[in-house]
Amino acid sequence: MAQAPWPSAHERTHRYDVVFAGMGLANALTALRIRARHPYLRIAGFDPNPAVGAGRTWSFFASDVTPAQLAWLRPLLRQEWPAYEVRFPGLRRLLDTPLCTLSGPALQQALTGIVHHGEIREVHPDHVILTDGAVIEAGMVLDGRGARPSEALQCGWQKFMGQEIRLTRPHGLRHPVLMDACVDQFDGFRFMYLLPFGPDRLLVEDTRYSDTPVLAPGMAQAEIAAYIAAQGWEVAELLAQEHGVLPVVLDGDIAAFWAEAGPAAPMGMRAGLFHPLTGYSLPSAVMMADVIARVTPMRPQALRDMIEHTSRVRWRDQGFYRLLSRLLFQAGRPDQRWRVFERFFTLRQPLVERFFAGRSTALDRARVLTGRPPVPIGEAVRCITAPPFRMPTRDQPAGLAAALVTPGSRDA
């Protein structure tokens, strides 16, 4: 991607209307919406890696966003499938909800003229300081440098290793496979995720809902190779590889989370704007991109207050998903977690769509929690009746503290 021209090194202060610190997904989408709505504004993004989205895939369901949002996302899509499949030991099901994948190269191209290479030293509400001493002043600054360490959130982890491959012959898949849980279960709930990009081109991803954020790339690569061999496929070429760790929120203190935040306006996962159980932030990123583009320009404090208010409201409304996260991680054996998802995918498709979009109704919540639970009843009751979360002491760190060290998060 052609980078925007950058002033000579002796010019130490530069002025923009909007500056993006870090060009993760949330900031990238917001930059595009602001440029589309306010083409006269001077905007710039700074990131240590200006190749935004290189080697990344962001997948989402068409039902996660509004028709208008899907329309402006479509030029960024690599592929859109009309349905997807899930596979469990006792269930195999095809759901005709369209599944979309956003393309890193298309995102790079769309951001041409906005993104600059820059190592960021400090982020403030109205300026950014780079490690070379350059000061980037702005009417408003959006801090999208990914999730920040926090002891205010109690987390499990969704970690993944993915390989895009070209096979020696067609793979025969007609639809993506969101979860193939018919694999050995270890390190928590484990499944394979398959995206067919062409007759002989495929993304194969080993994903685990795990108690630890530690990802052993060599072991995951070996498991991917074993899965490919078990399907009777033969790899002709490894095209790309990605890995990452996403937080799965079990509980927390949203007030303490925001008390830890700095004065600059955070974005995306840094603002806690992601689905507590899936870890995905694209629907929230799309929503915030539209909202911020409508109100830009805005005073820095008003901008931060608006994002904090949105995050707190989302936290209040997402208690159901945090309860499900606790049931998944704290009730029953880790190698039996797949039973929770197998039962979930027997439910009606509209309920499944609203769940992934974070819009479950009261009736949805009742339906998910009624019937014979796929976890021991006593442990389920303990999770439901547990006392409120308490912040850990300094010698007992928890949550995101010191855990977010693995690069490659899909939804930064």
With a cut of 70, say whether residue 27 has pLDDT above it: yes
Enumerate the domain spans of the chain. 13-52+111-148+264-316, 55-64+77-101+153-252+319-412
Amino acid at 74: R
Instruction: Tell me the pTM.
Output: 0.89
pLDDT at residue 56, as a whole number: 80
Q: Give the pLDDT of residue 78.
A: 94
| Mean pLDDT (whole number) for 127-132 | 94
pLDDT digits 0-9 by tens, 255-296: 999 999 989 999 999 999 999 999 989 999 999 999 999 999
pLDDT at 393: 60
The superfamily in CATH containing domain 13-52+111-148+264-316 is FAD/NAD(P)-binding domain (3.50.50.60)
Instruction: Tell me the average pLDDT across 303-326.
Output: 95
pLDDT band per the 50, 70, 90 thresholds, residue 318 = very high
Cβ count near 10 (within 10 Å): 5
Neighbour-count burial of 71, counting CB atoms closer than 10 A to its CB (0-12 exposed, 13-18 middle, 19+ buried): exposed
Distance CA(274)–CA(264), nearest Å, equals 19
DSSP structural state of residue 337: T
Rounded Cα–Cα distance for residues 357 and 346 (Å): 18
pLDDT reported for residue 1: 45
How many CB atoms are located within 10 Å of the residue 255 CB? 11
In this prediction, residues 29-43 reach a mean pLDDT of: 96
Instruction: Tell me the pLDDT band of 399, cut-offs 50, 70 and 90.
Output: low
Q: pLDDT > 70: what percent of the chain?
A: 87
For residues 23-51, give the mean pLDDT. Answer: 93
Q: What is the pLDDT of residue 374?
A: 61
The lowest-confidence range among 45-54, 101-110, 138-147 is: 45-54
167 phi and psi angles, rounded to 5 deg: -95, 165
Residue 380 clears pLDDT 50, i.e. is over it: yes
Mean pLDDT, residues 284-309 taken together: 96
Looking at residue 376, what is its pLDDT?
56
Are 145 and 270 contacting, i.e. CB atoms less than 8 angstroms apart?
Answer: yes
Three-state DSSP string of 73-139: HHHHEEEEECCEEEEECCEEEEECCCEEEEEHHHHHHHCCCCEEECCEEEEECCEEEECCCCEEEEE
Question: Percentage of the chain surpassing pLDDT 90?
Answer: 75
Helix (H, G, I), strand (E, B) or coil at 261: coil
Q: How many residues belong to the chain?
A: 412
390 band by pLDDT with thresholds 50, 70 and 90: low
pLDDT of 2 over the 50 cut: no
pLDDT of residue 411: 43
pLDDT score at 230: 97
Q: 256-289 in b/e burial notation, b at 16+ Cβ within 10 A?
A: ebbeebeebbbbbbbbbbbbbbbbbbbbbbbbbb
Which band of pLDDT confidence, cut at 50, 70 and 90, is reported for residue 186?
Answer: very high
pLDDT band at 89 (very low <50, low <70, confident <90, very high): very high
The string of pLDDT tens digits covering residues 209-231 is: 999 999 888 999 999 999 999 99
The answer to whether residue 412 scores a pLDDT higher than 60 is no
HEC string of 132-196 equals CCCEEEEEEEEECCCCCCCCCEEEEEEEEEEEEEEECCCCCCCCCEEEECCCCCCCCEEEEEEEE
Nearby residues of 369 by Cβ (< 8 Å), 6 or more positions away = none
Section 380-386 average pLDDT? 58
| pLDDT at site 12 | 55
In the structure encoding, which two tokens stand for residue 340, read together? 């929770």
What does the mean pLDDT of the chain come to?
Answer: 88
18 or 369, greater pLDDT: 18
Mean pLDDT of the 359-386 span: 74
- Give pLDDT, residue 406: 36
